[in-house]
Structure 1
């Protein structure tokens, strides 16, 4: 049940959840705005999606620590869809329909598909995202803010640079004020968290992220008075920038509403299906990753999560928001911030809502280099060098899909990297599952071929080579008692080899070898 975690809520969790919620909010604020820019949508659309993802999906979610909102992985799809359908209001209809599709998937129990994602790919996704966060935030930490915050494509939409060329240009054009703020911010985060881990009450109560933001604002203002060359100003380029509500325009005036007249256009249904499919895939994969990093090791309900995402997208589309998904960056920030329940996610959503009214006073003075420091620390925790060593020790069947997923995400984008990783991961799953399906035991001329488990098509080449290796005079027994299923091609190969064995002078017997034991009779003494 959505409220099960809050029904048994412990007061001891409150500090952790408020701290984590504040940290997620500070990271989510520029991400929501950056993703809206990258999508070619109104800025408020990103905030609306973040608010609904935090409050509505947070309440209904199948996970206690997952955080939803606008996703970088959908930015290109959203931008292309808006251009194809002609207006943002028409696109909002697709968001509503996508939510309805997701709601249906959840009710049909399609969430079980999340169990079919290989662990190596899930781990690779977490590490790949961690590396992308670090690589994409270093330029912001150095004061180069030409790319959208939250845009994780290798080839950048804003300036046509790529991740590596952007790093080079950021180093060459480093702004001393931004560097000073980001370095001080990282030092505060590291030492503050260490002191909090020692149980010192002062450091456990106050969120380190909030202190970093306040120090960043103060430093920039000091630079303006005493070091003008380091001053970042209050420009859109270097600051978090939320559109300010004017006195004559209330909240209702900035909300876009869907244009349902486009329901007669068949293109809207294809766009909706695409959004629903991609958003559901990203959500389910992130949910698997969330359970992996949840310190309390809770098991999320994938079906309930799809229902929550569906409701969230229906509401987001109705009030002008971007599509929402469960997002790995914000979820990781939430977990590493110490979240213990869904309350932290809800706190994040409430703070985003309040941002609409606080923008002009404080929030638009936050340097992006502050936020970059927060995200760099999250990215480093995700992409810890120890993870590479651990997966490498597990063997190549785990390491190759893992590293392919990591490289795919870094050098393309999140969705493409995951698809590439899944393709390689499934190939290795098929390969490893085909291994050791049977054993060959030889005692002189007596040979036992013993099936140790169900035997599938992929074992055919190895089995064929085994049959060809028998020599005249051998006495072969194929024992299928331990295989409840034998692939049709395998079955035909074994039966047909009886004639080959007879012509070559090989004794050959099949014991309980059938395609399906319950349907076909066994063949003995063939």
Structure 2
């Protein structure tokens, strides 16, 4: 008997060829997107590092780790991680209070805490935070960022505390318009912002090159050509800048202040990353973010950055948006952007020394203004004043104190507002000369205790009373005790009181 071998069907060969062509096409999209994200990330990494008071190279190190390490991990597909403007204030405060050596320990501790939160499933709970608190967080960060970065533009060092920043404004305005460095800094900042605004209005084919990079390039060129008296970025060796954490550095963890910083970094970085994930997921049709896996990925990246003594990272909306809009298809684009950052800092670091600090200040002022969301805040004030109050309270507290206190204050206000609205209580009273009937609807909680007491005390004295609590959805201990005490006092005055408790039908 002859056995006939089956040949491979042509369709199989065709599908394999189609798969290869499709992968090549996807790689092309990801390669192009990675270059766009790299060009957006480079000036922001440098600017955030300088604003935080650390060498510029440490910002790029964080960008590299965010691209290569976090980019390879599961969680989100399109989200790009790196140093974030929102953590600038925290980093500067940590360095001022504990020194640069403690930064690595704080970032490492925050990363390990993020990993623990992700593994225990806490990541999904970050979606339960009020949007008004989130907007207030971003607005507060924007205010602090703007208030701090106008000082480098004016040619002065940034004060370390909010009070000093406000107190120094008269001196800043004087220096900005009377000193050579101040006038040059203001001029270069204006040129940077105008260049970015004009670039954004050009046709799409020109805007492949990101506006921040164009603004920085124009400002650096003008500073060099005209020899403007502006301070520029100081560039050192990448390996020489890295400050690897040693076992002796962990002695700082025994300080409650350092432990508080670790908790603050972990909470703020996690919240910013997961809020960003929710926004980015609405921009594309690909796989959605797995929140707990993303929290583990962010924690791993921060742990690596902590070991290297670099800046903390979060997922950042600006770079993530650029990644989606540039046509990225897979996480390869964010990994490649980290590779481009690594190649740049190894081969062309001298180019950074041409960038004036005033230009980076302008970039961060622009970022702070976008975080403020003035239009959204105005709409909220018109439409929902209670939510606007929570937003303004959160932002104002952040400006006056710090991020953690501001966020916790906003969350507490949101919880109180929600509890007040949910605990609506209706007290219906009917009475004649001999009998009174009280009927309670809704939720009887301690928040409505004054209302309940007032209505019961206003009830005229009768020979009998009936309190119907069966319609209540909830009766807490405080209200229950108040009603029992009221009934006991009535009985002492020879009034028959009957209580119908919730659930009694």
Please indicate, yes or no, whether the TM-score normalized by the shorter chain is above 0.5. Answer: yes
**Distance in 1, Cα, partners of 2:428 & 2:169:** 55
Contact 1:479 1:511 in 2 (8 A): yes
Give the deviation of 1:288 after TM superposition.
Answer: 5.4
Match of 1:258 in 2: 245
- The equivalent residue for 1:282 is 268
User: Within 2, Cα distance between the matches of 1:130 and 1:311?
Assistant: 27
Counterpart position of 2:201: 194
1:23-422 equivalences in 2 (<5 Å): 23-37=40-54, 44-60=57-73, 62-63=75-76, 64-65=78-79, 67-69=81-83, 71-72=87-88, 73-82=90-99, 88=101, 92=104, 95-142=107-154, 144-147=155-158, 153-155=161-163, 164-165=169-170, 167-173=172-178, 175-195=182-202, 200-224=203-227, 231-232=228-229, 237=231, 239-243=232-236, 245=237, 252=239, 254-260=241-247, 265=251, 267-268=253-254, 273-287=259-273, 289-290=275-276, 293-294=279-280, 296=282, 301-318=290-307, 320-322=308-310, 324-326=312-314, 331-334=316-319, 337=322, 339=324, 346=335, 349-422=338-411
Q: Alignment partner for residue 36 of structure 2, among 12, 19, 26? A: 19
Q: Which has the higher helix share?
A: 2
Residue 417 to residue 285, structure 1, CA distance change in 2 (3 Å) = same
Rounded Cα–Cα distance in structure 1 between residues aligned with 2:398 and 2:243? 33
Q: Counterparts of 1:295 and 1:267 in 2: how far apart (Å)?
A: 36
Question: For 1:475 and 1:370, how far apart are their aligned partners in 2?
Answer: 76
Structure-1 separation of matches of 2:209 and 2:58: 31
Deviation at 1:351, TM superposition (A): 4.4
**3-state SS, counterpart of residue 439 of structure 1:** strand
Q: Which runs of 5+ in 1 are unaligned?
A: 1-5, 225-230, 246-250
**What is the RMSD computed on CA atoms of the aligned residues?**
3.9
Q: Which moved more, 1:335-344 or 1:92-101?
A: 335-344
Q: TM-score, normalised by structure 2?
A: 0.77
Q: Is the 8 A contact 2:445 2:475 kept in 1?
A: yes
User: How many residue pairs end up in the alignment?
Assistant: 465
State the match for 1:494 in structure 2: 483
- Kept in 2, the 8 Å contact 1:241–1:364? The answer is yes
SS state of the match for residue 350, structure 2?
coil
Distance 1:170 1:432 in 2: 51
Q: Give the unaligned 5+ runs of structure 2.
A: 1-22
Query: Are residue 469 (structure 1) and residue 480 (structure 2) matched?
Result: no
SS in structure 2 of the partner of residue 491 of structure 1: helix
Q: Post-superposition shift, 1:282?
A: 0.7
Q: CA offsets per residue over residues 464-500 of structure 1, 9 Å max, x none?
A: 22222222348544233451x4212222222333333
8 Å contact kept, 1:439–1:451: yes
Change (3 A) 1:58 1:27: same
Partner of 1:248: none
Asked if structure 2 preserves the Cα contact closer than 8 Å seen for 1:242 and 1:359, the reply is no
How far off its partner does 1:131 sit? 2.6
- 1:260–1:423 CA distance, 2 compared to 1 (3 A): same
- In structure 2, the CA distance between the partners of 1:98 and 1:202, relative to structure 1 (3 Å rule), is closer
Is 1:480 paired with 2:479?
Answer: no
User: Per the alignment, do residues 505 and 385 of structure 1 end up closer, same or farther by CA in structure 2, a change over 3 Å counting?
Assistant: farther
Conserved 8 A contact 1:54-1:67: yes
Shift in Å at residue 457 of structure 1? 2.6
- How many angstroms apart in 1 are the aligned matches of 2:49 and 2:452? 55
2:117 and 2:295 in contact (8 A); partners too: yes
* Residue 285 of structure 1, CA deviation: 2.9
